[in-house]
Amino acid sequence: MNIKTIFKDYQLIDTGDGEKLERFGLYTLRRPEPQAIWRKTLSAQEWERRADASFLRDARSDERGEWRLTPKMPSRWSVRYDYKDMHLSMRLGLTSFKHVGIFPEQAANWNFIYDTVEEIRSRKGSARVLNLFAYTGGASLAARAAGAEVTHVDSVKQVVTWSRENMEASSLDGIRWIVEDALKFVQREVRRGNRYDGIILDPPAYGRGANGEKWVLEEHITPMLEACAELLEGKCAFLVLNLYSMGLSSTLARTAVRECFGEPSIEECGELYFEDEAAKQLPLGTYYRFKR
């Protein structure tokens, strides 16, 4: 099952030749996109005219680079996301890793989280949600907007601070912030006997914990899923898993989760994607999610 995300403050304008041209709110950005292996639709002149900021990759690094800005481009700005009674405001910024503080394709998961938390609360009266590798907190905000008690875990203090800013800008409060290696935190929660009604996993391919702990997705995803399986409630619960590593399919995610959690009542898996103005579909990660 593929999910086309709808996000009014975001637009994928054109893709191709290893790049994407995107509008975030009032501003249009030009960034590398290795999966855009086809040709661009718009002319080079049109890309140049439209881009308020262009990311220039450092020849010495696969990830780092710098931004070339037009005079009107600010270093920080905000976008909004609205769904039912969820109204999120998220601050964006231009980082040296080409990220801007949001993965807009995740809006499809935010909707799922919001609806599922509301469903759990209607049946149980409350819901506890754990968001791991939580970045700037879109999923945490969605769960909190639906009334969940949310624990937000990320190993980078500056990113957690960014998440708190997004919470306050969205007129929310009460999220529990944890700056720690995600696997260590989960294993400690297992020892404490804590339980959650929802777990969200958004692991990178590679990363470092708060104290330099090394994370390699292929090596550590199974122990992470095994620990999470001990934390998730047996009934009236959900899991969301995202995989951004190229080559890792939703079928792989489904198999790995089922091995640890068993067979769920309802499950979905596939690709998250956007279409550009020429209807070219750009895949932006695989997902697997279930309810039980």
46: left (phi over 0), alpha (psi -120 to 50) or beta: alpha
Q: What is the mean pLDDT of residues 24-34?
A: 97
**3-state secondary structure (DSSP) of residue 271:** strand
Beta strands 86-93 and 76-83 are: antiparallel
Architecture of domain 99-291: 3-Layer(aba) Sandwich (3.40)
pLDDT tens readout for residues 122-168 = 999 999 999 999 999 999 999 999 999 999 999 999 999 999 999 99
Q: What is the mean pLDDT of residues 211-230?
A: 93
- At the fourth CATH level, the homologous superfamily of domain 3-77 is Golgi alpha-mannosidase II (2.60.40.1180)
The answer to whether 237 and 197 are in contact (CB under 8 A) is: yes
Position 3 pLDDT exceeds 80: no
Domain residue extents for the chain: 3-77, 99-291
**Per-residue confidence band for 210, with pLDDT thresholds at 50, 70 and 90:** confident
pLDDT tens readout for residues 229-250 = 999 999 999 999 999 866 689 9
